[in-house]
Structure 1
Amino acid sequence: MGTKDWIILQMVYNEKNITKAAERLYMAQPTLTYRLQQIEKEFNIKLFYRGRKGVDFTEEGELLVKHAAAMLKEEQKIEEQLQNKGGEVKGTLRLSVSRTFAFYRLPQLLKAFHEKFPQVEFHVTTGVNHDVIQTVYKQEAHIGIVRGNHTWPNKSITISEEHICVLSSQKIALEELPSMRRVVYQTDPALNMVIENWWKAHFSKPPINHMDVDNVEIAKRMVLNGFGYCIAPSIVLEEHDLLQKVVLMDQNDSPVIWKTRMLYREELTELALVKEFVDFVQMYGLMTSEEK
């Protein structure tokens, strides 16, 4: 079996459907079916059973899929090591990034890095902080970028700090908030906790949550159109925004801060593209106490 066979096994296992797997692999279905039959003959096993809703892998089939994943990961490591011989910075940098950072900061950062190292390509996945950490822990990504404080056993560098702010279409005073309508949005539980703790420290009654939306960008637009206020990190503010901003202050009269951190395994800096990216991010100017 070769690399293509390992990929086929993984795809069929993930899709649980021969037709969908063939489409994803850009293969004719009979060709894919024939290749799966050859794998079964080679190992003298049955990979899966066909059902109305797709395929169900046997115990032997699942074992072979796990082996396929391990082989592909090992091939990836070898390929990366070979690409980094001779001091050239090239290859594919795998990043797992918090969605908020990916939306507001990552495109500019990758553009600047690519201008300096044009032979580097990128594979970017986004998700909530827990997913990002798991992806880096499983070595599915070279580097993770998360928001807030999260436990990580290896290298961690703070790359930016922002204020958490009340955003509104008109100027408001913080003492007015308990009587105003608030737009809330789905975000990381850690950020919700920071905001909730600030609220409890300053007000004796809960906020009036007028509207609940999917993400902070929608919340911003609702606020801009008069649907109350929202509370968010200042990373979400862009030059063209017309929103008013009031920075939250803690009980010591210091701004409430929300950090962005870069996570990675120290041994991965032996790869030139990882080391250069880590150094570049720190030199890029993201390590500031407030957005640029």
Structure 2
Amino acid sequence: MKKIAVLTSGGDAPGMNAAIRAVVRRGIFKQLELTGIKHGYEGLMAGDFIPLELGSVGDIIQRGGTILQTARSEAFKTEEGQRQALGRLRENGIEGLVVIGGDGSFRGAQKLVQLGFPTVGIPGTIDNDIACTDFTLGFDTAVNTVIDAIDKIRDTATSHERTYVIEVMGRHAGDIALWSGVAGGAESVLIPEKEANIDDITARLLQGHKRGKKHSIIVVAEGVANGQTIGELIREKTGFETRVTVLGHIQRGGSPSAFDRMLGSRMGAKAVDLLVEGGAGVMVGMQNNQMVAVPFDQALSQPHSLPLALYELGISLSI
């Protein structure tokens, strides 16, 4: 293998640039030629390719987002689009591909593998919702962004003696809400994996108020309910003055944490090693702090499991 390419697809995540940098520099270290594909699978089909040298990835490890830009592609989901993309790779002499993204990006990579093209994936999504890896790229940074917001909001909640509902990302996975809620000392955390009982939540709020507690923080994953709805229910059932903050896309941005920079670096290097060694059709995962190769079929067929022991921990610490 002499020439490989890298692309980012789907939603951006802090640490993607660290992974791109690692793919390029590990590849050049192994005497490979590197190509960057801009705008994900859309750019792949269009032939939006750029050469990547050592200097191309200088001073990017600390930057959020992705220097290759990203996009979602409906056209690539078709057989025609996939064959068009394969043709672009072949005509440019590219022999292997690294795809950085979430489960949708991996399904696209899986299609290329089925067409006979060596492809390796790096799980990049702030939701941490990919099976067979302890963490995905960008999750740690997103949680720290939420923690920073919770700390600031708690100052105001304390000053005004209010209850604050904070809505975070997570349509199908409650990892961001759970980790940030427990680490931020939230009184309640609502996640898709656990049925929410508004009466239990309000009972804990009333119990805390009875012992003199004047403010509270409730963290809600967007997949459970609209934060405004939860805030109105709490206000109706308790009479407490309640405010709602929706953090939205602020969770995707920002300089990646040290953990995500290391994770991106390790995963990027491992992806190149796998391609060089003849590996294909696999995702790089982190298990027990070790880089492992997991077949796409396995990673995509298994449901993501959230450690519910953390949920129980949060309940026991928020009394």
Query: Which bracket does the TM-score occupy, shorter chain normalised?
Result: under 0.3
More strand by share: 1
Please, what TM-score do these two structures have when normalized by structure 2? 0.26
Highest relative contact order (Cα 8 Å, sep 6+), 1 or 2?
2
Please, what TM-score do these two structures have when normalized by structure 1? 0.28
**Which structure: larger Rg?**
1
